[in-house]
Amino acid sequence: MVWGLFHEIGRKIIHITILVVLAAYFVIQDSLVGAGYTAVLAKQVALLFLVALLILFLILEYFRLELGWKMPFFSQFIRPKEQNRMYGVIYFLSATIISLAVFDYKIALAALLMTTFGDMVAALVGKRYGTSLIYRNKTWAGFLAELFTNLVVGLIVLSELNGAIYIIVGMALVATIVETLVDELDDNLIIPIFSGFAGQVILFSL
C-alpha cells in the first residue's frame, strides 16, 4: 500500500502538533483578559491570531499548488488525493476558527479534539486490525475505536456541563458517523462543525 502505516502515523503527528495552535489561542485570550482587556476583545484578538496563521498556510499552499513548490519533509505525508488540492491543515484551522467563534468553548474544544484523536485512532486501528468493512474503506474496528475515543474525549472535556451525558454521546456519535461516511470531503472541516453544532443544539435544548 502506497500510503502505509508509517505515513499515516506521521500525518497524525502533524495534526496533533497543530493543537499547539489551539493552546496558543487560549494563552493569548487568557493573557489579554488578565491584562485588563474585555473578554470580547481578547477573544477577537486570539481569533485574529488564528486567522493570521491560516493566511500563512494559505500562502504556503499557493506556492505548493500554484507554483509547484514541494515542502521539505512535509510533502511525504501528503496523501495522493491531496496532491492537487489543499492540505488538511487548512481545513482544520478553518474549522478551529469557526468552532471557537460560534460554539461554547468547551464544545468547540471537544469537537476539535474528537476530530484529531478520534480520526487518528480510527485510522491506526482500522489499518492494523480492521478486517470487516462497514462502509467503503472504513472498518468496524476503526469505527468502534473512534467512537470509544470520542466518548473519552467528551467525558474529559464536557463532564461539567449541564446534561453532559447527552452532549457527550450526541457529539461522539455525530463525529464518528460523519468520519465514517465522508471520503472526498475533508473530515478536518466536516467533523468539528457537525459535532460542534450537534453539541451546541443539545446544550441549548436542555
How would residue 2 be classed by pLDDT, with cut points 50, 70 and 90?
A: very low
Q: What is the pTM of this model?
A: 0.86
**Burial classification of residue 66, based on how many CB atoms lie within 10 Å of its CB (0-12 exposed, 13-18 middle, 19 or more buried):** exposed
SS3 139: strand
Asked if residue 160 has pLDDT above 70, the reply is yes
HEC string for the chain: CCCCHHHHHHHHHHHHHHHHHHHHHHHHHHHHHHCCCCHHHHHHHHHHHHHHHHHHHHHHHHHHHHCCCCCCCHHHHCCHHHCCCCCHHHHHHHHHHHHHHHCCHHHHHHHHHHHHHHHHHHHHHHHHHCCCEEECCEEHHHHHHHHHHHHHHHHHHHCCCCCHHHHHHHHHHHHHHHHHHCCCCCHHHHHHHHHHHHHHHHHHHC
pLDDT value for 81 = 63
**Cα Rg of the chain, angstroms:** 18
pLDDT value for 79 = 61
If one counts every other C-beta atom within 10 angstroms of the C-beta of residue 115, the result is: 31
- Return d(Cα 202, Cα 88) in angstroms, integer: 28
- Return d(Cα 178, Cα 197) in angstroms, integer: 13
φ/ψ (deg, to 5) at 135:
-165, 125
Torsion of CA 105, 59, 188, 162, to 10 degrees: 0
How would residue 96 be classed by pLDDT, with cut points 50, 70 and 90?
A: very high
SS3 135: strand
pLDDT value for 199 = 98
Asked if residue 197 has pLDDT above 90, the reply is yes
